[in-house]
């Protein structure tokens, strides 16, 4: 699922100890899915079992991509978009419920996150070609077709209707997290005791490495990309990072992120990185993106509504901020 609109940028990686203390083996594969990179690591009793389950994970992610990608013309989400302003479209319950959750997050953030952001005009350029800010009029016009309040869901009929012609919904800020969560649940149901699925930085983990050690997540220093800001051990759960340290512009001394506020059309400012930890990657993904847009104060207020999630923020001036409920032990961070 391609993300032509740069709604987030992720910079997490896995630190793996390959020593096996209990005859289990770790197998890892990297592939391109949903328009991005997936790193799939499975711990199993033997190599064949691990590889077979990696194949199943890839098949499941492909199934989800074909269902929800707004860049695949045959997907159900594309059908919804093609019928914007025309008629409701019946979708699978899975697609309906994912849209329902996305719409709820849109409501909670008052449009800081908006599942209809896919209709936004791409007037901001972060490839070095911009020499001045777009006009206020152009910015206002760029979000005319964005608006979660114009999405009508019918739970009985399982339909989605976009009221305005030209509207689009997209899951570029939730899709990978949703896919990694689904695959984790599938593997656990099959009796696979440990693994980690990393979809472009949206990670769902369970169990431990063959060495008996927890999975360790490295977070890149946004000001020194060649260095690690922090190494965080995870005993299950999920982690996602949204950030803007590679794609931004500066006008009149102010830094504008490539992550655009879908409610205003203006880039996010103030934060260059937000990492969210919690039970599932879909929610963590939505929260990290939303918090980048909302900024430090409103972002921390939003997180309070999700007590099972904690965060690590880095401001544009290099300050590291942890939420009050951040309780990961053996955590070190150095800019």
How long a stretch of residues is the chain?
335
Q: Has 241 been labeled as part of a binding site? A: no
E strand or H helix that includes residue 315? strand 310-315
How far is it, in rounded angstroms, from Cα 302 to Cα 36? Answer: 28
Sequence-ordered alpha helix ranges (H) in the chain: 47-68, 76-82, 93-108, 136-142, 175-189, 281-294, 296-303
Distance of alpha carbon 281 from its chain centroid, rounded?
7
Q: Has 333 been labeled as part of a binding site? A: no
- Of 241, 276, 273, nearest in space to 257 by CA: 273
| Adjacent-strand bridge partners of 255 | 250
Backbone angles phi, psi at 235, to 5 degrees: -105, 70
Q: Angle at Cα 81 formed by Cα 172 and Cα 155, nearest 5°?
A: 90
| Adjacent-strand bridge partners of 219 | 12, 230
What contacts 24+ positions apart, CB below 8 Å, involve 303-306?
A: 303/276, 305/108, 306/278
Q: Which residues are annotated as a binding site?
A: 173, 289
Q: Which residues are annotated as a binding site for Mg(2+)?
A: 173, 289
């Amino acid at each position: 699922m391609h993300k032509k609109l740069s709604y987030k940028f992720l910079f997490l990686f896995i630190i793996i100890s390959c020593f096996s203390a209990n005859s289990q083996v770790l197998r890892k594969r990297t592939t391109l899915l949903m328009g991005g990179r997936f790193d799939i690591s499975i711990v199993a009793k033997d190599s064949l079992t691990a590889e077979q389950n990696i194949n199943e994970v890839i098949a499941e992610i492909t199934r989800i991509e074909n269902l929800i990608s707004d860049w695949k013309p045959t997907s159900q989400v594309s059908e919804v978009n093609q019928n914007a302003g025309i008629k409701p479209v019946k979708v699978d319950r899975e697609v309906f419920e994912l849209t329902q959750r996305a719409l709820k997050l849109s409501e909670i953030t008052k449009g800081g996150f908006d599942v209809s952001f896919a209709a936004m005009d791409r007037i901001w350029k972060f490839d070095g070609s911009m020499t001045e800010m777009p006009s206020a009029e152009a910015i206002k016009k760029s979000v005319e077709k964005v608006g979660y309040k114009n999405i009508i869901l019918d739970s009985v009929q399982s339909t989605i209707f976009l009221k305005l012609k030209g509207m689009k919904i997209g899951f570029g800020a939730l899709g990978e997290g949703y896919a990694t969560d689904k695959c984790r649940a599938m593997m656990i149901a099959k009796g696979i005791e440990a693994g980690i699925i990393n979809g472009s930085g949206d990670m769902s983990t369970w169990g431990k490495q063959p060495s008996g050690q927890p999975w360790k997540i490295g977070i890149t220093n946004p000001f020194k990309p060649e260095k690690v800001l922090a190494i965080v051990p995870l005993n299950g759960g999920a982690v996602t990072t949204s950030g803007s340290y590679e794609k931004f512009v500066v006008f009149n001394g102010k830094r504008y992120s490539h992550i655009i506020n879908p409610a205003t059309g203006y880039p996010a400012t103030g934060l260059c990185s937000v990492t969210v930890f919690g039970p599932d990657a879909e929610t963590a993904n939505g929260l990290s993106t939303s918090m980048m847009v909302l900024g430090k104060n409103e972002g921390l207020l939003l997180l309070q509504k999700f007590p099972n999630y904690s965060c690590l923020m880095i401001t544009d001036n290099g300050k590291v901020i942890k939420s009050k409920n951040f309780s990961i032990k053996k955590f070190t961070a150095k800019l």
